Amino acid sequence: MIDTHCHLTHPRMEADAGAVIARARAAGVTACVTIGTGAEDARRGLDLAARHPGFLLCAAGIDPFTAHARGGAFGEEIAALRELLRGGRFVALGECGLDYHHDLDPRPVQTERLERQLDLAEELGLPVVLHVREAHDDALAILACRGRGRGVVHSFSGGPEEAERYLALGWHLGFNGIVTFPGAGALREAARATPSDRILLETDGPYLAPVPVRGKRCEPAHLVHTLGALSAARGENEDALAAATTANARSLFGIYGGPSAT
């Protein structure tokens, strides 16, 4: 299994990241993508990844929270992001996106920041890790305008109708612990309707721990619970789903080589 989205540089994870990674390996996780939410965070991700070669991979983007914190300095932040990504050590641009739940900045501002990062990903030929919270219609409109995209809607939380629209535009869907929550019937329906070559597994650790560890700090080792819930929802064998989602992650993020990343 590959955890395609976790935050190992998060203050709640960084101090014992080595132990977190050891538990992940013991639980059958063969690689993790740690997500940088801004340039500074992404640099810390690279440092951590250098200590876990072949296992830890990095993505870098400017998420709505960092974008808000940088405010008028967003231009500088994106220049720093571009320099980092041009170094060639990142498997994806992200996370970036629209967050209408927190709604920290006016929606046109959020849209413009997303568009600039989508342009950058296109220029550099990188897949995108998209954060969309309570903003599916606007995100879908932006993606549709740009034609077929390459990337993942991470922490997908919509129903079958939204899933279908992202899939039609060529996007993958990332499922995490939410799929184990009792109230997530529509999400499980979406998971059932998603072809197995478009599903990615993720934890989004330290957030969104799955049942039966809900409420605790989430870490990549918890991916097994999400795999279990997802295969139950789909009526699909766990090993088959683990193999399919691993192949999807490898192909989307260009993860080849590295004996432990098989």
Residue 261, Cβ neighbours under 10 Å: how many? 19
Within the chain, residue ranges assigned H as helices are 17-26, 39-50, 64-70, 74-86, 107-124, 136-146, 160-168, 185-193, 223-234, 238-253
State in angstroms the smallest separation of the CB of 205 from Zn ion.
Answer: 9
State in angstroms the smallest separation of the CB of 5 from Zn ion.
Answer: 6
In the complex with Zn ion, the residue whose CB is nearer, 100 or 238, is 100
- Counting residues that bind Zn ion (by CB under 5 A) gives 1
State in angstroms the smallest separation of the CB of 95 from Zn ion.
Answer: 5
Q: In the window 35-94, what residues touch Zn ion (CB under 5 A)?
A: 35
In this structure, are residues 34 and 182 in contact, taking their beta carbons and an 8 Å threshold?
no
In the complex with Zn ion, the residue whose CB is nearer, 35 or 139, is 35
Q: Extract long-range pairs of 101-104: CB within 8 Å, 24+ residues apart.
A: 101/133, 101/134, 102/64, 102/65, 102/133, 104/64, 104/65, 104/68
Residue 86, Cβ neighbours under 10 Å: how many? 12
In the complex with Zn ion, the residue whose CB is nearer, 130 or 221, is 130
In the complex with Zn ion, the residue whose CB is nearer, 2 or 35, is 35
State in angstroms the smallest separation of the CB of 6 from Zn ion.
Answer: 8
Q: In the window 7-46, what residues touch Zn ion (CB under 5 A)?
A: 35
Residues that bind Zn ion (CB under 5 A): 35
